[in-house]
Structure 1
Amino acid sequence: MNRSQLGAALRALRVASGKDAKAVARSALMSPSKLSKIEHGKLGVGAADVERILTAIGVSDEAKAEYMDAARASATETIAWRLLKRTGVHKGQQDAKALETQMVLLRLFQPALVPGLLQTPEYMRAVLRCHDLSEDSINRTISGRLERQEVLYDGNKSLRFIITEPALRWRIVRPQMMAAQLDRIISVSRLPHVDIRVVPLTAEQNDIASHAFVIHDDRMAMIETVHAEVVVTDPRDIELYVKKFKSFERSALSGAEMRCVVERVRDGFLREQETD
């Protein structure tokens, strides 16, 4: 089933259900224009979008399984960053928020930077400026990312982060701001449903920290590369990322030990600030 056929099938299901497009779009956490483009085959649709649309329509489990299989037929979707820039990077925050609203378990590995859900506004701005965005786009993306951070306080979810020690030391903002960013990590780590772990430089490794990735439940893995965001929905591929996450989890520090590492790095930045 190609893009046009899947879109037409989703539209037929919606019409048969008697629900109007605006209601389905609202329930599926997307704009009516996006739903319209999907239904008319003008926009590629990932498995996550298909699942949200089917849930909003209210189809049976059997029908949902059938259409989800069709959506996964193209198990890997690549979205070039240049296309995201063209449509608006801030809109990606809306899609991410929709995914995070519906998930129960998030597992995120980040070897290079502080994860977006844990970033301070100053850190966000520095990261986004590396992508040659306009100030308006940066401001709107920061606003969207801050809204996404509300998920950190949802006790019905389990959020698990693994960060490497070099990511804590990557000087993307001034020492004082880096110290504030690390304080933010320490603070969030005390939330009962949030597990933040740090892989120390002294830990012996049996795996390679090649790139960042995030796993939503066991349904989707998203990988960040230099040129694109890759979305994986094939269970066999997702399992590879789950195994990789567990491998780094075994060598990572948690709880008080993790906070000691972060505090040590933070104190180093504070000492630098005092001597400036």
Structure 2
Amino acid sequence: MSTDFQQARESLGVRLKELRHSCPGGPLTGAQLAEKLRWPHSKVSKLENGRQTATSNDLRAWAEATGQPKATEELTSRLVGLESHVRSWRRQLSSGHKAVQVGINAEFSRTSVFHAWEGAMIVGQLQTADYARHIFTRYANLHESPRDTEDAVRARLQRQEGLYQAGKKYRIIMWEAALHTLVCPPSVLAAQLDRLAGVIGLDTVELGIVPFSAPLKIPPANAFWVLDERVAIVEDWHAELWLDDTPSITTYMKVWNTLQSSAVYGAKAQNVIHAARRALNAH
């Protein structure tokens, strides 16, 4: 996936270089273009060589500075194609978290079977409003994004309507660590754990917990969703990956099945959740 992304970024860089060389008034050197744009020369070089991802504003400025403003639409289209797989949080969160939640809600609404793995926090589909509020606040702090916390919380909770829709199936597994992570006050986590225990038994939800004591065939790593085995959505610190190629989806399903083999369900899962709930008394 990173190779495909890098190739697309390098291809965009080649096109940028072509525009610099084909200016109506004659070709510009990299230094001349950088001066015209009031950019460091290194930025021009990095964009042309695929070592930096352009923004839409960068592309518009480049097209105008090379005297070819009509190229803006083409360049922007290339960027959209590039980011259809790698969606940086910096861009996604430029207007806040609500827009991201609304976008994922649309994808979830057309999905019937969900596979999810989460190792560090309660999976979004099962979060309470208070828990979600603390999660959004912490990520807004990290990415220095606009604060639209309440709108984001409402959008995330709207997604939970799917838990009560016939025909949908949520196959969710979480590491026990997610039950103990204090990304919120203990009282909020306690209510969240009560909520988590309450979804066990819903006919649309298969909730498995991988206990600390369970032997693991692979290390627990990034959180991800696989939607109807047509797309895998993977979260990283810098970006969200949307993978729709068969080899990648196959890999994530293999990861899910491998981790799932260590999970406990039903009464055993309830016991793990209740133990985490009791442990909060120490805080």
Shared fold by TM > 0.5?
yes
Q: CA deviation at 1:87?
A: 3.5
Aligned to 2:158: 147
Residue by residue over 1:19-76, the C-alpha shift from the partner in whole angstroms, topping out at 9 and shown as x without a partner, is xxxxxxxxxxxxxxxxxxxxx7656798xxxxxxxxxxxxxxxxxxxxxxxx8xx797
Is 1:181 the counterpart of 2:189 in the alignment? Answer: no
Q: Counterparts of 1:256 and 1:96 in 2: how far apart (Å)? A: 31
Equivalent of 2:132, from 124, 139, 142?
124
Equivalent of 1:226, from 217, 229, 237?
237
Amino acid at match of 2:154: S
How many residue pairs match? The answer is: 208
Per mean C-alpha deviation after superposition, the further-off stretch among 107-116 and 78-87 is 78-87
Unaligned runs of 5+ in 1: 3-39, 47-70
Aligned to 2:171: 160
Q: Counterparts of 1:44 and 1:211 in 2: how far apart (Å)? A: 28
Change (3 A) 1:76 1:242: farther
| Superposition RMSD in Å | 2.2
3-state SS of 1:180 partner? helix
Change (3 A) 1:96 1:86: same
**1:17-32 → structure 2 map (5 Å cutoff):** none
Change (3 A) 1:89 1:253: same
Aligned to 1:272: 282
Change (3 A) 1:98 1:76: closer
C-alpha contact (below 8 Å) 1:221/1:233 kept by paired residues: yes
Q: CA deviation at 1:211?
A: 0.7
C-alpha contact (below 8 Å) 1:160/1:196 kept by paired residues: yes
Identity of counterpart residues, as a percentage? 28
Aligned to 1:49: none
Q: CA deviation at 1:112?
A: 0.6
Amino acid at match of 1:210: A
Equivalent of 2:210, from 199, 204, 216?
199
Per mean C-alpha deviation after superposition, the further-off stretch among 200-209 and 83-92 is 83-92
C-alpha contact (below 8 Å) 1:214/1:223 kept by paired residues: yes
Per mean C-alpha deviation after superposition, the further-off stretch among 90-99 and 237-246 is 90-99
3-state SS of 2:166 partner? coil
